[in-house]
A and B are shown apart, each in its own frame.
Chain A
Amino acid sequence: DAGITQSPRHKVTETGTPVTLRCHQTENHRYMYWYRQDPGHGLRLIHYSYGVKDTDKGEVSDGYSVSRSKTEDFLLTLESATSSQTSVYFCAISALWDGANYGYTFGSGTRLTVV
């Protein structure tokens, strides 16, 4: 989507290394989310942010940390990558906490492979 970009699009990393994924939005939306998508599990929430420096955990937050120092950027860090973190990672944004008015808008995803 034009208003939200993720980088990198693809990454291969080694077990035990730290990895940071970036989500950038130009919509000035307050809420930002990181999801992972795995076969058979659908999309699962990792962390979300409800404002600059305001973040909270989702259902699969172990092994991940996030930071939001500016409204437009939300970073996801894998502190020490493991093979179980091989997945497709999606960032999403919403204007309101319940997705009202505009719903969620998703980025194109980052395909991460941990070897």
Chain B
Amino acid sequence: KQEVTQIPAALSVPEGENLVLNCSFTDSAIYNLQWFRQDPGKGLTSLLLIQSSQREQTSGRLNASLDKSSGRSTLYIAASQPGDSATYLCAGNTGNQFYFGTGTSLTVIP
């Protein structure tokens, strides 16, 4: 069974810092990988999708990369803002379903 680990579980940074969130899979045979953001009491909002033929995706201040050989993904957030405060979840597709990590809770301090 696929296990997904996200490190760190929680992170607190001052506004303006660049930061990296990590995600690793026990089974590196991942087809597609998706990063989500979840605000308290809300649903999941898709941030970036890295498809099987890709190694990274960028959207604004966000950049996600996937190393399939190691089963690791990183989400890089540049120039963090208080509005970035949320829980970030990674999910990878193995076979016919996505497996989710438990998330990194990010707090950006003004």
Contact = CB atoms under 8 A, between A and B. Distances in A.
A109 B103 contact: no
B24 interface: no
Contacts of B103: 42
A103 B32 contact: yes
Contacts, number: 62
A67 to B, nearest CB: 19
Nearest to A108: B43
Contacts of B46: 103-106
B94 to A, nearest CB: 9
A98 B32 contact: yes
B66 interface: no
B42 A99 contact: no
Given A40-B102, A42-B101, A106 B32 contact: no
Given A42-B4, A98-B52, A98-B93, A90 B44 contact: yes
A101 interface: yes
Contacts of A100: 31-32, 51-52
A109 B91 contact: no
Contacts of A108: 42-43
A58 B97 contact: yes
B99 to A, nearest CB: 8
Contacts of B98: 45, 99, 104
Interface of B: 1, 4, 31-32, 34, 36, 42-46, 49, 51-52, 89, 91, 93, 96-98, 100-103
Interface of A: 1, 33, 35, 40-45, 48, 50, 58-59, 90, 97-109
21 contacts: A1-B43, A33-B97, A40-B102, A42-B101, A43-B89, A48-B96, A48-B97, A58-B97, A90-B43, A97-B96, A98-B32, A99-B49, A100-B32, A100-B51, A103-B34, A103-B46, A104-B46, A104-B91, A104-B98, A106-B44, A107-B43
